[in-house]
Structure formats: C-alpha cells, structure tokens
Amino acid sequence: MERYSNYDNFAWLYDKEFVEYAKAIFPVLKDIAGDKLPDGARVLDLCCGTGQLAKILCEKGYKVTGIDGSAEMLRYAKVNATDAEFINEDARTFKLPSIYNAVFSTFDSLNHILKAAELLRTFKNTYKCLVSGGIFIFDLNTERNFKANWKNCKIIKETPDHFYAVHSDYDQKKRLAPWQCTIFRRKARGWQRSDLFLEETFYPDEEVKSLLKRAGFTNIKTYAASRERGLHKPNRGSIKIFYYAQKP
C-alpha cells in the first residue's frame, strides 16, 4: 500500500474541500441499484476516502464497511461515519467474505488503478465479497472528461487557513491524466507545505465490460447522469459513466 501513503498529507484538505460529490451521488446510486439495495443491506464502500458516502449510507440504515489504502483518510472517516467499520487495505488485494449485498466505488476512484490487470484483480476481489445476486456500482471518468476538464487545467484557492494550487493534464497517447496539488496549511509558526501527485487513466467502455465479465459479473449496464436529465444512456459527451454489474 506504499502508493497510497501519498494521500495521507492530503486527507485533511480532502475532508474540507472534496466532500460534495458524496452528497450528490447517493440518489444516483440508489436509482441505479433499484430493488437490489434492500433496507438494511450490507454495503462495502470501496476506496471510501474520508467516509462521506459511508456516513450517508449509515444514516440511511445500511450496514457499512469502508476500505481505503490511506490510513490518514480512514482516521477522518472514523470520525465522519462512527457507525461504519473501516479497513486499511488496497482495492487490488483485499479479501473479504461473501456477505455484501452491494459494493460502491465512487468519485472516479478506480481510474487511479493504472493497469488493466490490476483493475481485473479489483473486480475479482469485489465479486468474491458479494452475496449471490449482489451488485457492484462504480463510476469512471471518460476520456471526454480528461480532454475537456483535465488537460492543462489550473485551479487556485485561498482561505484564511490554507491555500492550494492544482494543475492537471492529459496525455492521450499514454492515456494518463496527471494531477498535482501543492498545499500550504497555516500552522502556529507559519505555513506547512505538502505536495501530492497522482495519476488517473482512461479505460474504454468495452474494455471495462470485458474485465467485468472475466471477473464473473453479468447483467452489466451503463448510465450517465445529470441534474437536467437524471439517469440516461451514455453518449460521446458524457464525462462520467456509471457501471452496474451483478454476481449471478
């Protein structure tokens, strides 16, 4: 899990600045899941970050386990979602018993897995931990998103207690989207600097579906979502795709 230690210094900022997606995404997950997410279901939040979605799931009455590779992210998660169980583990290597009705992985977490073989292992791990008929719902950034919103993008934000600058890009030939963040946090005697570098990659739709099938999943469906149209069929302009897959 050495790769995820980079996220530790970023956890406090993530918990402050990157939490709105979890609030917006639960209704989408609920709509996609339909009657396959019964009241009181056991849910695994894969790559759970600081536990924002886990908190919402607990509030809705679900039995929640969260997995994340960053111990510091999980320290915040345990405060945010006190009723959930959290495990410090890598999505590519975790092993859990077949007890979960649903697994969710959101906020393009699986785009961080850069090799198809590793994504396949993640899918297989997920398959194994689901009950028969259990469902797996996750989102992935599309290449359209990387081209339109990541390529040579710069963001700067300043508050009284912190400042950060983000620069993202996209290399179409390599299918890699680097994301760099320089952070300054006010401390008693000045400012503390930390830096984060991460990469995401783009997986073509047919490749994702093929990997899901190889992992054993069936009934694979895809969706896009917007405030104006709700759930709808993905198209060339979609910046994010939601995948639904089921364990037979």
Q: Can you give the residue range of the structural domain that contains 152?
A: 145-200
Indicate if 87 and 189 belong to the same structural domain: no
pLDDT digits (tens, 9 = 90+) for 69-89: 999 999 999 999 999 999 999
Starting at the earlier edge strand, list the strands of the sheet with 130-141.
Answer: 85-88, 63-68, 42-46, 100-105, 130-141, 240-246, 218-226, 230-232
Given this model, what pLDDT does residue 3 score?
Answer: 62
| Domain CATH number, residue 228 | 3.40.50.150
pLDDT digits (tens, 9 = 90+) for 149-170: 999 999 999 999 999 999 999 9
Pairing of strands 130-141, 218-226: unpaired
| Domain CATH number, residue 191 | 2.20.25.110
Give SS3 for 200: strand
Q: Is the pLDDT of residue 228 over 90?
A: no
Contact between 217 and 206 under an 8 Å Cβ cutoff? The reply is no
Indicate if 16 and 137 belong to the same structural domain: yes
Q: Which residue has the higher pLDDT, 84 or 3?
A: 84
> Which token pair is 204?
């073509």
Indicate if 109 and 190 belong to the same structural domain: no
pTM of the predicted protein model: 0.96
pLDDT digits (tens, 9 = 90+) for 115-124: 999 999 999 9
Average pLDDT, stretch 192-211? 96
pLDDT category at 1 given cuts 50, 70, 90 is very low
178: part of which helix (H) or strand (E)?
A: strand 176-187
Indicate if 81 and 47 belong to the same structural domain: yes
Average pLDDT over the chain, rounded to an integer:
95
Cα separation, 131 vs 79, whole angstroms: 29
Indicate if 111 and 30 belong to the same structural domain: yes
pLDDT category at 230 given cuts 50, 70, 90 is confident
Given this model, what pLDDT does residue 6 score?
Answer: 76
